[in-house]
Amino acid sequence: MPLPKEQVTAGLVSELGAFGDLVGSLSDQELATPTRCEGWTVGDVAGHVIGTMTDIVNGRLEGLGSPEVTARQVEERRGRTGPQLAEELEQSVKMASDLLAAFDEAAWAAPSPGGYEGSLGDGIEALWYDSFVHNEDIRAALGRPATRTEGLKAAVSHVAFELGKRNWGPATLALTGMPEFQVGSGGRRIEGDPYEFVLAATGRSDPAPLGLDATVNIYAE
């Protein structure tokens, strides 16, 4: 299950605010910088995150996260400046904040719309995860230091959820400074740095130093 509703809703809005601040400060040259997301520039990463939020607040939920929809989001925003991208995100976050405030606990536990496999709460936590990891993708591409915001906790929680869907484990994620997250029931205890774990579990780094193999990658076929 996702983190508590109040934590996720506040965390998502805060993370997106930080994302907008970062993107809005970038030059055209910085937006053209390649990232560790294969084939994507910094501007493409920003376009995906911002496009996702714009699609959501406008009710375009079908196919979110699919290669086709993601490509559309990126292409629609290609060539925009950092301030233009940030302005779009600011407007979407304002609308999203109103939507989030309207969800009660029953809605939070109900199935997520748009075909996402999980509850509404799981889907919103996934948005927080996505904005956090892509913020880090941009920072890494530009040689800026990593951050360890509350979004890291959301990222570990989301990865645990996705690993459970893949029948990976069982295992207990007992990562430094994090609450424990269960993948299945029982199994081995996985310890270590949560930031490095998230990078490994999303195909961004080698899982071997954590004592894991490629099956931990939630995007592996």
What is the tally of structural domains in the chain? Answer: 2
Mean pLDDT lowest among 40-49, 59-68, 118-127, 168-177? 59-68
55 part of a folded domain: yes
Is 134 found in the same domain as 159?
A: no
Is 71 found in the same domain as 20?
A: yes
Is 69 found in the same domain as 171?
A: no
Is 141 found in the same domain as 99?
A: yes
pLDDT the model gives residue 65: 87
Is 4 found in the same domain as 57?
A: yes
139 part of a folded domain: yes
Q: In the 8-state DSSP scheme, what is residue 203?
A: T
Contact 41, 33 (CB under 8 A): yes
Is 75 found in the same domain as 125?
A: yes
94 part of a folded domain: yes
> What integer best gives the mean pLDDT of the chain?
95
123 part of a folded domain: yes
pTM over the 0.75 mark: yes
Parent domain of 10: 1-146
Is 186 found in the same domain as 80?
A: no
194-220 pLDDT, tens digit per residue, is: 999 999 999 999 999 999 999 999 998
- Mean pLDDT computed over 65-88: 96
214 part of a folded domain: no
Is 123 found in the same domain as 62?
A: yes
CATH number at residue 44: 1.20.120.450
Is 155 found in the same domain as 128?
A: no
- Burial (Cβ within 10 Å: 0-12, 13-18, ≥19) of residue 140: middle
Percent of the chain with pLDDT over 90: 91
* DSSP secondary structure of 55-116: HHHTT--TTTTSHHHHHHHHHHHTT--HHHHHHHHHHHHHHHHHHHHT--HHHHHSBPGGG-
pLDDT above 80 for 9: yes
161 part of a folded domain: yes
218 part of a folded domain: no
- Mean pLDDT computed over 70-75: 96
pLDDT above 80 for 90: yes
pLDDT the model gives residue 98: 93
Is 116 found in the same domain as 57?
A: yes
116-165 pLDDT, tens digit per residue, is: 889 999 999 999 999 999 999 999 999 999 999 999 999 999 999 999 99
Residue 57 — very low, low, confident or very high, per pLDDT cuts 50/70/90? Answer: very high
Is 104 found in the same domain as 179?
A: no
pLDDT the model gives residue 1: 77
Residue where one domain finishes, among candidates 130, 146, 162: 146
- Mean pLDDT computed over 163-191: 94
pLDDT the model gives residue 185: 86
Is 164 found in the same domain as 124?
A: no
Residue where one domain finishes, among candidates 120, 146, 172: 146
